[in-house]
Amino acid sequence: MVSVSKGDHVWVDQRTGSEFNVEIGARVVATQAGQILLIDDNDQEIHFPIQTKFRSMHISSVEGVDDMILLGDLKESAILHNLHMRYKEDKIYTYTGSILVAVNPYKLLNIYNIDNIRQYSNKKIGELQPHIFAIGDNAYWSMQRYQHDQCIIISGESGSGKTESTKLTLQFLAATSGQHSWIEQQILDANPILEAFGNAKTVRNDNSSRFGKYIDIHFDKRGAIEGAKIEQYLLEKSRIVSQARDERNYHVFYCMLAGMSKEEKHILDLTTASDYIYLNQLDGTIYCDSRDDGKEWSTIKSACKVLMFSDDELNDILRLLSAVLHLGNVKFQATTTQNMDTCTVANINVLRTVSKLLKLDDNGLRDGLLKRTIFAHGEAVVTPLSQQQAFDVRDAFVKGIYGKMFIWIVEKINSAIFKPKDPSAYRKSLGILDIFGFENFQRNSFEQLCINYANENLQQFFVHHIFKLEQEEYNNEHINWKHIAFEDNQRILDLIAIKSMNIIALIDEESRFPKGTDRSLCDKLHANHSKNENFIPRKTDNNISFGIRHFAGNVYYDCENFLEKNRDTFSQDLMKLLQETKSKFLRNLFLNEFQIGTETRKRAPSLGTQFKKSLDSLMAILSACQPFFIRCIKPNEYKAPDNFDRALVCRQLRYSGMMETISIRRKGYPIRHIFRDFVDRYRLLATGIGPSHVEGDCRLAAEKICKTVLVNQDYQIGKTKVFLKDAQDVFLEQAREQVMARKILILQNSIRQWIARRQFIAIRQSVSLIQRYCKSHREVKRFQIMCNGFTRLQTQFHTRMLTLRYSVLRSRILNIQRYCRGYLARQNYSRKVNAILILQSEVRRHIAQKQMRRFRIEEKMYREAEQERHDEEKRLVSSLGAKRAKEEAERKYQERLKVLEREIHEQERLEQQRAKEKRLLMERKNYTDENDLFNNMFPSNNEERITPTHRPATVTTGGMQSTLGNMPQSMDNVERIDKPLPLPDQDEDLKEYTFAKFASTYFQGNAAPHFTKKTLKQPLLAIKSERDQLAALAIWITILRFMCDLPDVRTPNIVHQKQSVMTKIHSTLGRKFNKKDLEEAQKLSESIDNQPSLTSPDNSLSIMTNNNNNGSSPTSNKTTSRSVKQKLVNMTLKRKSKLSTDVAITRLKDLDLLSSTQQIKMSGMNPFLEDRPTSNLEKLHFIIGLGIHVAELR
């Protein structure tokens, strides 16, 4: 004990009544006011009187060590302090020689990536910080170095991190083998499947392994993984039907229900986890915070694909899992029949669902659950079951199905990853043991007894390998050695399974008795072992329990259901029923049971015996391997990070024999070599030593090597071996690597020289060969150039000859064409002259005939007048006398001649008028200048402008009036604007009158005053009529198309128009205009007048209206021709020609049925727009027809 000052590190004795409370490390913070203030390892302040003496802390404990063998203070407190300080710094791994101590951090650490794998590859233990990858790397290279099978034994309590350590070791071995093959991926993907079906959440661990597994990985001669095999041990089947509080069933049930789609659940009649009794017991935990069940389901399915599970096999597994859940919901109602306790199925629909999933007969399954067949004296007796017995039969049936399915899954995985050994090929293995940790719950049953028995075997293997074999070998080799006392658990193994009348033997014996009960078993155990120091008897006779003093502490076991679990069977009636199932998958699971008889099945080994045999086989495999140990430590019981329970850790360290391990590793010589192997490996370090088969005495050679290299270091020479410590082994390896590096450099230089000389000779020969080829290539190239030149010269000559020949031929052909054209022109001229002559003669003949007819008519009329004069004269002679009768007849005759002349003159005048009108009509029809037509229709200031008012229009000649008949005599919606538009004064300030201001004031929908190529959703200005809104939008789209800012319609109209627009205009205004066309135009006007206005009733855009029905007023004769012309042109500009009027009228009728908004939403089409490509002239007509004619749109 020493006095302390500020900054000193000391040990504080705060031990209470607990045996696991040891000294705690502390640092002196202050010494004042008669008090010493310390802060201990738990960061708690402690006050002591100033005169208190403390035990000082060794410098190795203050600074901390990676290997606890290097601790100067070899006590439990020092070991615990070293682990605690490293745990605070997230250094969870610590060495004890070659043994790794791993403290579960309960959080993710970034120390397992690919860079860490590369960092720890091919490194000795101790070169880098302690890591689980270092253990995997040393096991791998020991296998390669010594050509001996290796194994890594991962042990610890439940929740200490064994499963995660196994996965990390597998990950490292798969990466360090360097092949990245498919088999490596299959081995890694086997883990998610086994965890889903064999792991569950417990109070101590969210991913607790409820079975043991030994993964034996096989390597070829190159060190590449070529296969693996998985052995499983003792699946905890009772968890399927019952779980403790705050625990879950196996992960696969929750993952399946969380990850499956609604359709998949519907097929299997599944719902949610809370609806199933097997998943929701004692207010059971449905969710696990550290797991994502839905995501895990995807991982499980992808892993099954990698492991070659077929779709049918996956579906069969899902059907069995669903059947297990539904069986758990089958309820039995207690009844009484003939004074016997019986029961019936309360929910028969659930039982039918189970029958459908298992493909069993409904009645057979019901009878198998409710009845039992007993064979007595060769007769079958069927007895009903009580309610509790029915529940037990159901649960046993479920456990049997799940257990067989789990065994099949392991065999399926092995069939994918296991490759049988070729006797002629080299193969070594590296095994990883991940087995359930030591368990001690509030209620421990038969499974806990088997699990703890397995851990006792592993502890015995550890003790045997570390202590017994070490000290026996030291004694045999006559090594100077001081014996170390250690805890040996062999007596516990004798009690459980080795000596006669052991616990497992008594359980098997009682299981074979038909009348054996759990109480009778408990009585036998107490009767045979009550005096054993490792057996803890029950306190009262009413209690059916017993205890065992295990190496890790006292555990009390409840004997209830011991015999049933040990028998591991279910109803023979259900077994017989399974033989009749239509499910091939389910039938194959029990194929072995079907092949043996009932009596043989009764004599089959019990579960305890099977587990003991498999465990003995495992221990034999481990004994044949060079072991590496990983001791997993659980820091607290709450699965909380950064929480270090010193008492809990101390208990685990003490029961695992860590103190003795450190002592024997510190004092012993863990590395040993046979003389022959030692000489062959390290003879390079000393001169004058040859190979072992050359040296006569390998012992002398080994001593010489050690004296030369290991000067003043701790080593010993035995009878057959050299014994080294870890430090000396590392030193020898480093020295060997240095010597090998120098030798390799010399060898590399010699080989490089030899290779360089060979390359030089090869290059020199190649250069000579290349030179020859180059010269040959140069001459060949020169020859080719010459040949190409001659070829081009020939080509030029041939080209000029062909050109000359072509020119001559062309000139001749042109002359022939000229002569032919002249001949054809002369022929054509002659035909035209002859035709004109013929036409002239015909016209003259027609005129002459016409004049002849007129002359004949006049002559006839004159003769008739003359005859009437003679007849009149004869008629009047009797009354007036000859003279007066002649005078009177002559007077009337002259009057008739005047009337006749007037008629002839009038007829001539009418004919001249008709000819003039016809000539004017021909001139108007031949007038095709579009600009003049536009100016005539829309004159400047003093011309006509279209307005909503009417102006009468008249026909110029009476002849046309007779032809037009009842044609309308006025145009609707026409107004004359005689005054020019007012212009602003020159002095007026126009800065305030901007388009942007106008747009912000009057535009709708916050429309910007900038140009856009997009179609408008609504007109810029407010327009009340929906039809006018559609018309405005149609005008904007047409303008964009006219300016080529918007593509035209590509798809032609379904209603084909065979005539072009110009043809339509020509047919409307051209030479073919006749009375029939006018009558059709009149009908069109009347039909459009009867249609609803395009804009509004007050502002009509009717094409024609009848303002003057008779058309015979003299005042209207002047304007009739002009009115007709205006109507027909308007009809063309508004695209309402006689060819497309029906389509327009149909569209306008449809427009009346729906609003504009509805039209656009329903069809996406504007009824004013053509659904076919249109020319620029059509677009211009449409823009003018709507945009200028309609006042609201102008």
Nearest of 319, 362, 364 to residue 577 by alpha carbon: 364
Nearest of 463, 476, 467, 485 to residue 716 by alpha carbon: 476
Q: What's the token pair of residue 315?
A: 């579906």
DSSP string computed for 874-917: HHHHHHH-HHHHHHHHHHHHHHHHHHHHHHHHHHHHHHHHHHHH
- Give the separation between CA 557 and CA 566, rounded to whole angstroms: 14
Is 881 annotated in a binding site? The answer is no
Burial label, 98 (beta-carbon count in 10 A; 0-12, 13-18, 19+)? buried
CA 238 to chain centre: 38
Is 991 annotated in a binding site? The answer is no
Q: What values do phi and psi take at 949, rounded to 5?
A: -85, 170
Is 911 annotated in a binding site? The answer is no
Report the side by side order of strands in the sheet with 212-219: 93-96, 99-103, 626-633, 150-156, 428-434, 212-219, 225-233
- Give the separation between CA 544 and CA 523, rounded to whole angstroms: 8
Is 553 annotated in a binding site? The answer is no
CA 132 to chain centre: 34
Residue with structure tokens 């990698």? 306
Question: Which residue type does 781 have?
Answer: K
Is 158 annotated in a binding site? The answer is yes
DSSP-derived letter for residue 281 is -
Burial label, 797 (beta-carbon count in 10 A; 0-12, 13-18, 19+)? exposed
- Give the separation between CA 153 and CA 628, rounded to whole angstroms: 6
Q: For the beta carbon of residue 311, count every other beta carbon within 10 angstroms.
A: 9
- Give the separation between CA 873 and CA 892, rounded to whole angstroms: 10
DSSP string computed for 374-419: EEETTEEEEEE--HHHHHHHHHHHHHHHHHHHHHHHHHHHHHHH--
Count the helices and strands in the chain (H runs, E runs).
40, 28
Q: For the beta carbon of residue 1178, count every other beta carbon within 10 angstroms.
A: 20
Q: What's the token pair of residue 241?
A: 């039907």
131-135: long-range contacts (C-beta < 8 A, 24 or more apart)? Answer: 131/93, 132/93, 132/100, 132/102, 132/165, 132/168, 132/169, 132/172, 132/630, 133/168, 133/172, 134/100, 135/98, 135/100, 135/169, 135/628, 135/630
Q: How far is CA 29 from CA 36, 49, 129, 501, in A?
A: 8, 14, 30, 61
- Give the separation between CA 357 and CA 325, rounded to whole angstroms: 11
Is the CA virtual torsion 485, 486, 492, 493 positive or negative?
Answer: negative
The H-or-E segment that residue 522 falls in is: helix 518-529
- Give the separation between CA 909 and CA 905, rounded to whole angstroms: 6
Confirm if 507 and 517 have CB atoms less than 8 A apart: no
Residue with structure tokens 């940790």? 437
Is 470 annotated in a binding site? The answer is no
DSSP-derived letter for residue 237 is G
Is 61 annotated in a binding site? The answer is no
Nearest of 943, 847, 857 to residue 903 by alpha carbon: 857
Residue with structure tokens 């587990």? 611
DSSP-derived letter for residue 498 is I
Is 511 annotated in a binding site? The answer is no
What is the biggest distance separating any 2 CA atoms in the chain, rounded to whole angstroms? 200
- Give the separation between CA 904 and CA 464, rounded to whole angstroms: 155
Burial label, 269 (beta-carbon count in 10 A; 0-12, 13-18, 19+)? middle
Binding-site annotation: residue ranges: 156-163
Binding residues for ATP: 156-163
